[in-house]
């Protein structure tokens, strides 16, 4: 039996409510054509698109989720969205610690750790992102940076909790740049992460300019369990092509 592939799409700040409805006029037929036991598809939309996403995703039987959440359940936190709010949309998965949250919105390791714990406590699955900047890689600090990011998010969690998390290694220099990590670079980090996490069966995704043309070599690496896809996930064809290219 071939390994299970996780194909997760992070729409970022793309696809309005009506654009999400339109996406799901095309997606079901495209998905039916590739659907397989060894494939898990997930889509992560902006909060305002969660309703049409939830309706479309439930019909197709795919995973869906949000791209962020606050760790407090309610209160005076203007502009934030809580876990109970997302639960009413039947959200099960939440992306946390994406590099755009870390670097544009200045989310700290400490905040990401609190969010990770809160999402796990709610019985939901964090999709925990981590990765280095170009200058950190060039200075030889890739592993120091990622060790800090991962250790702070996992501190105080039980092994049962760390096993539930889905991990996503996303080198910041490869995101939205068209520059992909080589399969060897991505594999090196994912293998190293598996040891640091201490879970042989941890699910570890690679993200950063994944598309049909580079999917096979990346997803064939032994420690890469799938892809977290930005740009290519916005259209059903370019998104699902990542799986068919891997299989083909």
Please identify every residue annotated as catalytic. 98, 170
Of residues 77 and 105, the one with the C-beta less far from ligand 13P: 105
The residue number with the shortest CB distance to ligand 13P is 230
Per the CB < 8 A criterion, the answer to whether 86 and 46 are in contact is: no
Cβ burial, residue 164 (10 Å; 0-12/13-18/19+): middle
Q: How far is the CB of 18 from ligand 13P (least distance, A)?
A: 22
Q: How far is the CB of 106 from ligand 13P (least distance, A)?
A: 17
Of residues 98 and 117, the one with the C-beta less far from ligand 13P: 98
Residues at the interface with ligand 13P (CB under 6 A): 10, 98, 170, 175-176, 207-210, 228-232
Q: How far is the CB of 130 from ligand 13P (least distance, A)?
A: 12
| Spatial separation of the C-alpha atoms in residues 45 and 65, rounded to whole Å | 7
Three-state DSSP at 217 gives helix
Q: How far is the CB of 76 from ligand 13P (least distance, A)?
A: 30
Sign for the pseudo-dihedral over CA of 89, 225, 23, 26: negative
| Spatial separation of the C-alpha atoms in residues 140 and 175, rounded to whole Å | 19
Q: 106: how many CB neighbours lie within 10 A of its CB?
A: 8
| Spatial separation of the C-alpha atoms in residues 217 and 147, rounded to whole Å | 26
> Around 154, how many Cα atoms within 13 Å sit in the side-chain half-sphere?
26
Cβ burial, residue 174 (10 Å; 0-12/13-18/19+): buried
| Spatial separation of the C-alpha atoms in residues 94 and 69, rounded to whole Å | 7
Q: How far is the CB of 152 from ligand 13P (least distance, A)?
A: 20
Of residues 14 and 55, the one with the C-beta less far from ligand 13P: 14
Of residues 20 and 233, the one with the C-beta less far from ligand 13P: 233
Of residues 175 and 218, the one with the C-beta less far from ligand 13P: 175
Q: Name 23's Cβ contacts closer than 8 Å, sequence gap at least 6.
A: 15, 56, 234, 235, 236
């Amino acid at each position: 039996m071939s390994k299970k592939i996780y194909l997760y799409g992070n729409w970022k700040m793309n696809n309005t409510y009506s654009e999400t409805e339109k996406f799901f006029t095309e997606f079901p037929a495209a998905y039916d054509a590739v659907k397989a036991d060894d494939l898990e598809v997930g889509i992560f939309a902006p909060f305002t698109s969660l309703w049409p996403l939830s309706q479309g995703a439930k019909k197709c039987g795919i995973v869906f989720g949000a791209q962020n959440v606050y760790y407090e359940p309610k209160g005076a936190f203007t502009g934030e969205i809580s876990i109970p709010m997302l639960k009413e949309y039947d959200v099960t998965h939440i992306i946390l610690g994406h590099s755009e949250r870390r670097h544009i919105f200045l989310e700290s390791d400490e905040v990401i750790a609190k969010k990770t714990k809160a999402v796990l406590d709610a019985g939901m699955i964090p999709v925990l992102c981590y990765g280095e900047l170009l200058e950190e890689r060039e200075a030889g600090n890739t592993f120091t940076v990622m060790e800090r990011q991962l250790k702070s998010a996992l501190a105080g969690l039980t092994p049962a909790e760390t096993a539930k998390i889905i991990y996503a290694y996303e080198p910041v220099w490869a995101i939205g740049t068209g520059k992909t990590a080589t399969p060897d670079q991505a594999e090196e980090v994912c293998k190293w992460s598996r040891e640091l996490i201490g879970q042989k069966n941890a699910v570890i995704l690679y993200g950063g300019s994944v598309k049909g043309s580079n999917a096979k070599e990346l997803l064939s690496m032994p420690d890469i369990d799938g892809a977290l896809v930005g740009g290519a996930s916005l259209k059903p064809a370019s998104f699902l092509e990542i799986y068919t290219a891997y299989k083909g």
